[in-house]
Amino acid sequence: MSATARGATAKKTVSELNLILLGPPGAGKGTQAERLQDDFHLPYIATGDILRSAVREGTQLGRQAKEYMDKGELMPDEVIVGVVLERIASDEARDGFLLDGFPRTAEQGRALDSALVDVGRRLTAALLIDVPDDEVVRRLSGRRVSVKSGRVYHVEFDPPKHEGRCDVDGSRLVQREDDKPETVRHRLEVYHRMTEPLIKHYEDKGILRRFDGARSATEVHDHIRATIATLRLEDEL
């Protein structure tokens, strides 16, 4: 590659922030993503949210997804890969993206890598938020969601003012089918078996960054922000 071409590639990747959030269900990825979106104005691509909204809308994707989701199983790779790559290629994600819930298998990781390579892009970092299994079960099985507003509560850590009712609109709070304790345990088993191998993959590429998800959301956020600031500085050097 000529020096000019190298310069052009380097210049393109410097300004981009292509991030993925890794970690077990219930690690607080969604909470961190909300804050990082505010910090860096990145389009947030959360496959779980995309699939849940497809289920609500009753689209073909939603009908296909529901069965897998209710059981805590993963959707077939080729379906979810298509959904995500389309978003990454969209104009909205031109200057970067924040992926949550994808990739979740080695195959999805490979598909993402090669799609980015094809267009001269690369991942900036894989942010791993780690939390022990017991804590995941405690967090997820206490989670309740408002049927109308979608606001999330926790019976122990963030209870509503009136039991079983949303503070915002008074609608009913329900437990997500996949937050039932036996399904949570199955999701964890799927995470360890299917998703954890990706940690080594990103470690080998030198882009893995670890965060202690047992700490408060604010501490985790401060740590992630500082890490991203350092990565950006390194990129500019």
By the 10 Å C-beta count (0-12 exposed, 13-18 middle, 19+ buried), 42 is classed as buried
What tokens were used for 10?
């380097």
Pair 126, 22: CB distance under 8 Å: yes
Judged by CB under 6 A, the stretch of 56-64, 73-81, 199-207, 222-230 that binds ligand AMP is 73-81
Our answer to whether residue 187 is catalytic in this structure is yes
- Near ligand AMP by CB under 6 A, which window of 43-51, 112-120, 129-137, 200-208? 43-51
Known catalytic membership, residue 104? yes
Give CA 140 to chain center in angstroms.
16
Count of CA atoms in the C-beta half-sphere (13 A) of 136: 23
Q: What is the largest CA-CA distance in the chain?
A: 66
Residue 104 binds to ligand AMP (criterion: CB under 6 A): yes
Which residue lies nearer to ligand AMP by CB, 32 or 47?
47
Positive or negative, the CA dihedral 192, 71, 107, 96 is negative
25 binds ligand AMP, rule: CB under 6 A: yes
Sign of CA dihedral 207, 191, 30, 140: negative
* Kind plus residue range of the DSSP H or E element containing 128: strand 125-130
For this structure, is 143 an active site residue? yes
- Using Cβ positions, the residue closest to ligand AMP within the complex turns out to be 48
Q: How far is CA 203 from the centre of its chain?
A: 18
CA angle 74, 78, 84 (to 5 degrees): 85
Please pick, among 52, 121, 139, 187, the residue that the annotation labels catalytic.
187
**Binding characters for ligand AMP, 161-180, by CB under 6 A (x = yes):** -----------------x--
Query: Quick one: which segment of 100-108, 122-130, 133-141, 220-228 binds ligand AMP (CB under 6 A)?
Result: 100-108
Out of 21, 42, 45, 69, which residue is the one contacting ligand AMP (CB under 6 A)? 69
75 touches ligand AMP (CB under 6 A): yes
Q: Toward ligand AMP, which CB reaches closer, 7 or 76?
A: 76
Q: Around 93, how many Cα atoms within 13 Å sit in the side-chain half-sphere?
A: 20
Q: Which of the stretches 72-80, 149-157, 160-168, 200-208 binds ligand AMP when contact is defined by CB under 6 A? A: 72-80
> Which residue ranges make up the site for ligand AMP (CB under 6 A)?
25, 47-48, 51, 68-69, 72-75, 80, 101-102, 104, 108, 178, 187
Which of the residues are catalytic? 29, 104, 143, 176, 187
